[in-house]
């Protein structure tokens, strides 16, 4: 996938990207979007006459304030003179930033070279070269805002190929790109193509709020997974004559187990995407925490048997709060499966109690424990705790997702551990204030 291989450009800094970028996010400048990781490729749909400056200016202002090099590809919808005026209001030292090259305003023909038709390779090489230059000048990366309103109908096929390739190239780069598409210039088929080649699609909804149109990558991954599972099941069926009656169910069970795990990974990645780009709305209801824990534990019976771990649950009656049931189930599932994965065979104790007006859910295992250094990164994204000799799989995302969900409820999650002494994960959730006496 490396951009250098595909477009014939090999940057000298290629080896630093994957390690340096793990868990790093940048403020997008868009209140409905929030933090974005490097490599983000977004698009936003707008209507003719919309106040584009309300989104493009904060987006680029955030990049400038975070020491990023920024490029604004202007268009007829927002010409250079208007862009300068809008930015000058938000960025008082705009001229100084322009003079030292932190911000560049480009015409479409400067960003997208043409030799009769769009030169996709040259356009990609241009962005990688600008990123390389930004890093060499001490900036943290490159932020790009571009608009596609200059596209003629005959350019669409070439630009669609460009968007497909740039979406792959950006994933390993210190670049964040926001592409604008005017709805009046897009067909329904064209909009679907645009969404397909961007990680996140945005559109102004009612009351000027951002509406999120999820990119198709998770859906495509899930469809591919289903196709793969069907193919594996078909192969197993073809070999039934060579298998004993006892072996066939085991083989099918393994296929289904692999599918279930991969499906879980895809769901986790979807959660990461949503939590990274906007604040989810919680579906609050009355939830009995003890009953929830017991129900979830029953669902995880197979995982418990596979890990060889005994489970002891002690719950206080009547620990009832106003929470999002599915989200709290998700948190408990992540924490418990984490204990089973990293402490197989060790007993696990679960308690539900009340302390200082908060509901307390504790999951304690008696496994090998976690070093202080690992505890510091435990709730970061893409930080799996792996022993090289005993890889356990996973992306290192479950606990990060759990922390985000708990904090959305106004609660907290922490770990207490030491090598050789097991680990205790404690989730605290707010409870309603008691009625006045």
Q: Taking residues 316-325, report their average pLDDT.
A: 92
- Residue 426: pLDDT band (50, 70, 90) is very high
The residue with greater pLDDT, 276 or 74, is 74
Q: Is it the case that residue 5 has pLDDT exceeding 50?
A: no
The confidence score (pLDDT) of residue 389 equals 37
Q: Which whole number is the average pLDDT over 209-225?
A: 49
Task: Count CB neighbours of 299 within 10 A.
Answer: 10
Mean pLDDT of 36-56: 81
What's the pLDDT at 332? Answer: 92
How large is the average pLDDT for residues 289-315?
89
pTM over cut 0.75: no
Q: Give residue 382's region: left, alpha or beta (phi > 0; psi -120 to 50).
A: left
CA dihedral 257, 215, 129, 73 (to 10 degrees): -170
Q: What is the pLDDT of residue 239?
A: 57
**Between 78 and 360, whose confidence is greater?**
360
Q: Which residue has the tokens 């690992």?
A: 374
The model's pLDDT over 376-424, given as tens digits with 9 standing for 90+, comes to 777 765 455 554 334 444 445 678 888 888 988 899 999 999 888 899 9
Mean pLDDT (the chain) is: 76
Predicted local confidence at residue 152, as pLDDT: 80
Instruction: Provide the 3-class DSSP secondary structure of residue 165.
Output: helix
Please state, in angstroms and rounded to a whole number, the distance separating the CA atoms of residues 305 and 300.
Answer: 9
Measure the CA–CA gap between 239 and 234, rounded to whole angstroms. 9
Q: Give mean pLDDT, residues 354-371.
A: 92
pLDDT of residue 44: 86
Whether residue 141 contacts residue 176, with contact meaning beta carbons closer than 8 Å, is answered with yes
**Residues 222-260 pLDDT 10s:** 454 455 555 555 655 555 555 555 555 655 555 555 455
**Whether pLDDT at 97 is above 90:** yes
Q: Which residues contact 388 (CB under 8 A, 6 or more apart)?
A: none
Dump the DSSP string for 268-300. HHHHHHHHHHS-PPP-EEEEEHHHHHHHHHHHT
| pLDDT value, residue 79 | 84
Closest to 17 measured CA to CA, from 173, 132, 247: 173
Residues 73, 79: Cα–Cα separation, whole Å: 9
């Amino acid at each position: 996938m490396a951009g250098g291989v595909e477009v014939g450009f090999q940057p000298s800094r290629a080896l630093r990207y994957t390690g340096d970028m793990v868990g790093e996010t940048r403020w997008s400048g868009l209140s409905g979007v929030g933090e974005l990781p490097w490599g983000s490729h977004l698009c936003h749909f707008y209507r003719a006459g919309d106040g584009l400056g309300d989104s493009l200016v904060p987006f680029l202002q955030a990049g400038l304030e975070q020491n990023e090099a920024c490029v604004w590809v202007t268009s007829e919808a927002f010409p250079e003179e208007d862009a300068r005026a809008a930015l000058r209001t938000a960025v008082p030292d705009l001229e100084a930033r322009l003079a030292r090259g932190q911000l560049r305003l480009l015409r479409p023909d400067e960003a997208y070279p043409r030799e009769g038709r769009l030169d996709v390779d040259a356009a990609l090489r241009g962005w990688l070269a600008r990123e390389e230059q930004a890093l060499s000048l001490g900036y943290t990366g490159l932020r790009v805002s571009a608009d596609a309103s200059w596209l003629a109908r005959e350019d669409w096929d070439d630009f669609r190929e460009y968007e497909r390739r740039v979406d792959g190239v950006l994933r390993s780069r210190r670049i964040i790109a926001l592409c604008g598409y005017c709805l009046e210039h897009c067909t329904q088929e064209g909009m679907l193509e645009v969404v397909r080649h961007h990680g996140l699609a945005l559109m102004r909804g009612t009351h000027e709020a951002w509406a999120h149109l999820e990119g198709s990558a998770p859906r495509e991954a899930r469809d591919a997974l289903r196709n793969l599972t069907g193919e594996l099941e078909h192969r197993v069926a073809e070999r039934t004559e060579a298998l004993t009656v006892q072996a066939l169910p085991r083989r099918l069970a393994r296929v289904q187990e692999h599918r279930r795990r991969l499906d879980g990974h895809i769901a986790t990645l979807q959660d990461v995407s949503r939590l990274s780009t906007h604040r989810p709305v919680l579906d609050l209801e009355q939830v009995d925490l003890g009953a929830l824990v017991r129900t979830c534990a029953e669902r995880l019976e197979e995982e418990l048997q596979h890990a060889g771990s005994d489970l002891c649950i002690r719950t206080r009656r009547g620990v009832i709060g106003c929470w999002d049931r599915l989200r709290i189930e998700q948190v408990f599932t992540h924490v418990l499966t984490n204990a089973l994965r990293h402490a197989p065979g060790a007993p696990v104790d679960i308690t539900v109690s009340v302390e200082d007006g908060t509901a307390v859910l504790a999951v304690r295992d008696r496994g090998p424990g976690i070093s202080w250094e690992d505890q510091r990164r435990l709730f970061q994204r893409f930080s799996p705790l792996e022993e090289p000799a005993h890889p356990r799989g996973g992306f290192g995302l479950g606990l990060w997702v759990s922390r985000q969900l708990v904090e959305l409820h106004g609660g907290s999650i922490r770990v207490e551990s030491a090598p050789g002494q097991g680990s205790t994960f404690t989730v605290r959730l707010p409870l309603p204030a008691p009625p006045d006496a």
